[in-house]
Structures are given as C-alpha cells and as structure tokens.
Structure 1
Amino acid sequence: MTNENVQCPKCGCTEFGYGKQGGYATVNANGKLNLGSPMMFVICTDCGYVLESYVTKPNKFKGTTKY
C-alpha cells in the first residue's frame, strides 16, 4: 500500500506488512486449466487484519466462466 494516510479499520494502526500464501494454495481460474496464481496479502502488523488480498497473475483469469 502506498497511501501513507491509510489506517487499519480494526485497530487504527498505520504499519502494514506483506505476505504470500505458501505451498500449493493458489487460486485457479474457473473453466481453465492452468497453474493458477499465488495470493498476496497486505496485513496490519498490530492486529493481523487483512486489508487487501489479490492474485499476482491476474491475466490468468481473463475469459473465465462464472461458476
């Protein structure tokens, strides 16, 4: 997160860390055969609240089907 004025909505902390889901826990595109994309997280370093979650390879989800 680049905005210096961002606060955690749970505890008000302004310091955040970044994490990546480990192992084989990837998000796979629905209706496509691919290796998926890792999940990344922006986490409050005080209370652990997850402020953001996103995939690192969003292009793998283009043209996917709903459910």
Structure 2
Amino acid sequence: MYYKGIKECPKCGEVELGLGKHNGYAVMQPVNKMSFGSEVEYIICTECGYIIESYVKKPEKFKGTIN
C-alpha cells in the first residue's frame, strides 16, 4: 500500500502498511494552552509492527505554543 509518499517499511521492506490512531485519553495536548488537543495517527507496518510515521490530525491547535 502506498500512503502519504511511503511505499514500504524501512525496517523490514513490507509494502502493506496500515493506519492507526490514538484518541480518547491518549490525545496530544499543547503545552501552556487550554485545548482538548488532537488525535495522533500512525502509519504502521502490518508485518513487523514498526511505527513508520506519526502525526497529529489537527496541527493548528499547537500554533503559538513556542515563543
């Protein structure tokens, strides 16, 4: 599977990738800012379980958190 420019697992070479997410209590929250935060999504190798990439779904919630 080709996803967001990633063609294969850099660890084992598997080409079938999956998409997972953290949500609920596992959200990423901005420092020093009142916000519910954002879910974290992961691109995962379906063969070895390696987390290839992670990112927040709503990056705009983190603007202004570093001076």
Q: What TM-score bracket applies, with the shorter chain setting the length? A: 0.7 to 0.9
Partner of 1:37, secondary structure, is coil
Instruction: Give the whole-Å Cα distance in 2 for the aligned partners of 1:2 and 1:38.
Output: 18
Q: Which moved more, 1:25-34 or 1:57-66?
A: 57-66
More strand by share: 1
Aligned partner of 1:50 in structure 2 is 51
CA distance in 2 between counterparts of 1:56 and 1:46 reads 25
For 1:45, the aligned partner's letter is T
Tell me the TM-score normalised to structure 1 length: 0.86
Q: Distance in 2 between matches of 1:2 and 1:52?
A: 10
Contact kept? 1:27, 1:38, Cα under 8 Å: yes
The separation in 1 between residues aligned to 2:42 and 2:30, in whole angstroms, is 19
TM-score w.r.t. the length of structure 2 is 0.86
1:22: how far off? Answer: 3.6
Which residue in 1 is equivalent to 2:11?
Answer: 10
Secondary structure of the corresponding residue to residue 60 of structure 1: helix
- By percentage of residues, which structure has more helix? 2
In the alignment, structure 2 segments of 5+ residues that lack a partner are none
Unmatched tracts of structure 1, length 5 or more: none
Partner residue, 2:25: 24
